[in-house]
Chain A
Amino acid sequence: DAGVTQSPTHLIKTRGQQVTLRCSPKSGHDTVSWYQQALGQGPQFIFQYYEEEERQRGNFPDRFSGHQFPNYSSELNVNALLLGDSALYLCASTRGGSPLHFGNGTRLTVT
């Protein structure tokens, strides 16, 4: 039973570029959330997708957008990258009221 899988594992981008991160939820899960974890900090909630719609959003600018596909997988897009966007991006999935299951994350470095 595959858990939450994220790709790529690592990514290096230049300031001003755009990036897309991908997530496949755990089998049987239909809700996907994204979190940003800066070095030495706790994760911060970006947004959550359910039934292909953004249901909840944290305090992140519109440069952060997402999408959920009919197979429940999800993408996180970040436009106009800033140095401060360098972080570990974690995807989590759930179904109903079950606890979140997290992936290993994508380490994004913006230079």
Chain B
Amino acid sequence: AQKVTQAQTEISVVEKEDVTLDCVYETRDTTYYLFWYKQPPSGELVFLIRRNSFDEQNEISGRYSWNFQKSTSSFNFTITASQVVDSAVYFCALSPWGAQKLVFGQGTRLTINP
């Protein structure tokens, strides 16, 4: 069975602080995908990133960066110099290779205060 755990239910920081959202996953598959989605109050899930299990290179996109460590089954997400517009619920998700069947974590509600 696959499982995604986001231990941080809520995080609140002041604007311009850096913040890291943790994600730990469990799977018996040797190949799989990992995702991060953002859910603003509108409800739509906004795709942020997808990584495959054999590519452990860290990735940076503007103020966003992701750290994938297969040895610890973690896929953490860092926002540098946070902004109020980053406030949302963030979900980490896992899917089997070749199957678009996502297993989501419980989500982390991130609040950026001005």
State which residues 43-93 of A face B: CB under 8 Å. 43-45, 48, 56, 58, 88, 90, 92
Main secondary structure of the interface of A (DSSP, over half): strand
Main secondary structure of the interface of B (DSSP, over half): loop
CA gap between A86 and B45 in the complex, in Å:
19
Q: Are A99 and B35 in contact (CB under 8 A)?
A: yes
Return A39 CB to nearest CB of chain B, in Å: 11
The count of residues in chain B whose C-beta lies closer than 8 Å to any C-beta of chain A is 22
* CB < 8 Å neighbour of A48 from B35, B44, B93, B100: B100
CA gap between A92 and B104 in the complex, in Å:
14
Return A11 CB to nearest CB of chain B, in Å: 14
CA gap between A94 and B100 in the complex, in Å:
9
**A103 interface residue per 8 A CB criterion:** yes
Give B contacts to A, CB under 8 Å. Answer: 4, 35, 37, 42-47, 50, 91, 93, 98-107
